[in-house]
Homo-oligomer: A and B are copies of this chain.
């Protein structure tokens, strides 16, 4: 089994969104004198992620890029948490925290090894600008930024996977989907892509109790990107 392209889920699989938001929140809170449970802030924001995309998937709205969904979700959250007094610039800066997420410790070295023998492309629900800016920030060596926005469909809709493979002129079976989330891999596998589960047991913090282990028979199961690179002979 030789895959030509490796397609990566990004949030949680490649970068530590929760830890990055907490760290930036704590620094911001100290600077502005805002006392806040930043873990709850991060989790509350992320909890609005799937429902917002679901409105797009169901066709209740036309295409809305993730930056704009994040913005609407942030406005709701600030309201719920009774946080006021932020300028429009503050809010825009905060919304772009998703462009400034830190990679897991193994990410950059692992991707660099994997890139030697494969095309590395993103297959994220993040929009192109978000993923491109994050790559500049975190030095992620993608060969192509594909996924939801260029496909016009949010994962786990099949078009997100199939159109990404088609843009690379590859058959689904020539692509390996890499994710820390069982539902993403089930959807990718259903489209005929190969599947690799990478354990990210701290994505949702120390009390995470889901996506701890592979729940299906995937092609690969790895502890991190270095382990995956070794298994793929890179």
A167: which of B129, B142, B143 is its contact (CB, 8 Å)? B129
Within 8 A of B (CB), among A82-141: 119, 121, 127-129, 132-133, 135-136
* Number of chain A residues whose Cβ lies closer than 8 Å to a Cβ of chain B: 22
Q: Are A119 and B143 in contact (CB under 8 A)?
A: no
Q: Which of A10-18, A38-46, A144-152, A189-197 contacts B (4 or more CB under 8 A)?
A: A144-152
Number of copies of this kind of chain in the complex: 2
Contact indicator per residue, chain A 48-75, by CB within 8 Å of chain B (1) or not (0): 0000000000000000010100000000
Q: Which B residues lie within 8 Å of A129 (CB)? A: 167-170
Q: Are A167 and B149 in contact (CB under 8 A)?
A: yes
Q: Are A132 and B119 in contact (CB under 8 A)?
A: yes
Cβ distance A8 to chain B, nearest Cβ, rounded Å: 15
**Given A128-B168, A144-B145, A145-B145: 18 more A-B contacts, CB < 8 Å:** A65-B169, A67-B169, A119-B132, A119-B133, A121-B132, A127-B167, A127-B169, A128-B144, A128-B146, A129-B168, A129-B169, A129-B170, A132-B144, A132-B168, A143-B145, A144-B144, A149-B167, A150-B150
